[in-house]
Chains A and B, each alone.
Chain A
């Protein structure tokens, strides 16, 4: 699949996220949209997974530590065949398999239950350690938020991963610069975030356009080529709400925002979907 096709796919994924959240009337759309390109590249170009065998031994894993981006993950898992598209209309509905935050016991393809920030990152380090002990050669991917990086547990896990030479762990910071209440820099800044990870003993790759499939793919390839025994952190400079103007323009309010029928229709039109 070339990058043109991936770009088309990203639009389709955004339509599916908008469908989930629009059907419900509100949801975590900003942080979901900012990682669409990353998820599409991971699942379509890098991850060794099989939707027909979701529990396959030795498969690659993805732990979305910023668990509120569930709708984005569900759209991509659905796209590659983990479950039927009708599920996308059930986000947060009673007894749904698609709760707002990722739940490994409800959704096929979800590798860890996340939602309480910082915890998924430790779990990812534990999974990477487990894979090393099993010597199965799996790659463990994980995504953290920039606001989430204010959690102390992130740095505990960061030290652990470097100390245990977990070079099978490739992490991404969704650096969209916004958190629930405002701009990260105004609330409790995390700069210089690349230097921090470097100081913690990680390889650090910065992607200037974190919403470019090609740039993300290049960064992942770089991480796979490192042979210094270090885990890798890719800082993705993304835009929260990227890809749909009224969401992007809502700024930090798009962390979780209402989506009316009119907004849904307007959004689908802009994304080239059918209503």
Chain B
């Protein structure tokens, strides 16, 4: 199932139980899978038109009245376009608004550079107390939504819209503020998020063949980051790789680097978009173009292990 369908399906259940949940979008209901739910709850699903700044303010106002608004648009418009509205009307004002940005990073594909967010995590990470969550599959998204609805502060969901292979089973134990160790290992730690988890799992097949035992950690919540899991693993393996679908400046690599440099200085290599803008292309091409594919991850591991 596509992630947007999962989101909509789950929210349908919660909206039936909780009449304070409202879904706002800025003329992107259809691409975000909100058409059906909007027909079911016409009063509580509001398309504000192409006006993201206003959408953020409407949501903040509704939150101050006891509603739990989710605002939807593509990642660049959900973050860099409305950075000040998020900072002031939502975060500083302490409003319980959930920001859902879809098509993160290279997943914007043919929408190209204007729509390809390489900076959304960096922008939101520097806003005090903002929580940033990037689901890796349907199971994680489903489990997260329960906890997100019970978390009464601003939070950003950086969501891939379409179908992703399952990483986690439905019975796995999820904690919004705890990283998931996908595989234990001892030679190198690979910390990854979002679509890069698949690339890392692919890379791991080769690494295993060559006798390299990697520890793979999925950071689904990039802020606040689970420092202890990172430190524990880095102390064990002494070598860390990060893999993210974002600029390595300001994103997961930076976040991990801040933790390691202060608590457990460790050699680190960052895989991700290396301080350049996006461009049109399908994901496989873009992964190669930005050295984010499994081969690049393998190379980085070999390099860091000096093999």
Contact = CB atoms under 8 A, between A and B. Distances in A.
A125 B94 contact: no
Looking at chain A's contact residues, is the secondary structure mostly helix, strand, loop, or mixed?
helix
A175 interface: no
B84 interface: yes
Nearest to B67: A130
Nearest to A133: B43
Given A113-B93, A119-B85, A131-B65, A126 B59 contact: yes
Contact of B88 (A116, A125, A156): A116
The B interface is mostly helix, strand or loop, or mixed, namely helix
B64 A153 contact: no
A134 B87 CA distance: 27
A89 interface: no
Interface string A35-56: 0000000000000000000000
B57 A157 contact: yes
A130 B62 contact: yes
Contacts of B60: 112, 119, 122-123, 126
Contact of B51 (A133, A134, A156): A156
B58 interface: yes
A222 interface: no
A45 B144 CA distance: 48
Contacts of A105: 93-94
Interface string B258-295: 00000000000000000000000000000000000000
Contacts of A125: 54, 57-58, 61
B89 to A, nearest CB: 5
B49 A119 contact: no
Contacts of A121: 57
Contact of B58 (A111, A112, A122, A131): A122
Given A113-B93, A159-B51, A127 B88 contact: no
A95 B87 CA distance: 21
A133 B45 CA distance: 12
A123 B61 contact: yes
A122 B54 contact: yes
Contacts of B65: 126-127, 130-131, 134
A215 B205 CA distance: 78
B77 to A, nearest CB: 13
A115 interface: yes
B91 to A, nearest CB: 10
A209 B94 CA distance: 37
Interface residues of A, number: 31
A133 B41 CA distance: 12
Contacts of B241: none
A42 B74 CA distance: 41
Contact of B64 (A104, A116, A152): A104
Interface string A256-270: 000000000000000
Nearest to B24: A126
B110 interface: no
A119 B49 CA distance: 17
Chain B interface bracket (under 10, 10 to 19, 20 to 34, 35 or more): 20 to 34
Nearest to A118: B53
Most chain A CB within 10 A, of B44, B46, B87, is at B46
A119 B88 contact: yes
B56 interface: yes
A163 B58 CA distance: 13
A104 B94 CA distance: 9
Contacts of B46: 129
Interface string A130-165: 110110000000000000000011001101100100
Contact of A123 (B49, B64, B87, B94): B64
A129 B89 contact: no
B48 interface: yes
B151 interface: no
A127 B61 contact: yes
B66 A122 contact: no
A157 B52 CA distance: 10
Q: Name the residue among B48, B60, B65, B67 with the largest chain A CB count within 10 angstroms.
A: B65
Contacts of A120: 57, 89
A126 B197 CA distance: 38
Contact of B62 (A126, A152, A157, A159): A126
Contacts of A163: 49
A138 to B, nearest CB: 9
A153 B46 CA distance: 18
A55 to B, nearest CB: 10
A113 B56 contact: no
Interface in A206-238: none
- Per CB-CB distance, the 4 closest pairs between chain A and chain B, nearest first, are A122-B57, A126-B61, A130-B65, A156-B54
28 contacts: A112-B64, A113-B92, A115-B88, A116-B88, A118-B53, A121-B57, A122-B56, A122-B60, A122-B61, A122-B85, A123-B60, A125-B58, A126-B60, A126-B62, A126-B64, A127-B62, A127-B65, A129-B58, A129-B62, A130-B65, A130-B66, A130-B67, A133-B22, A133-B44, A160-B49, A160-B51, A160-B54, A160-B58
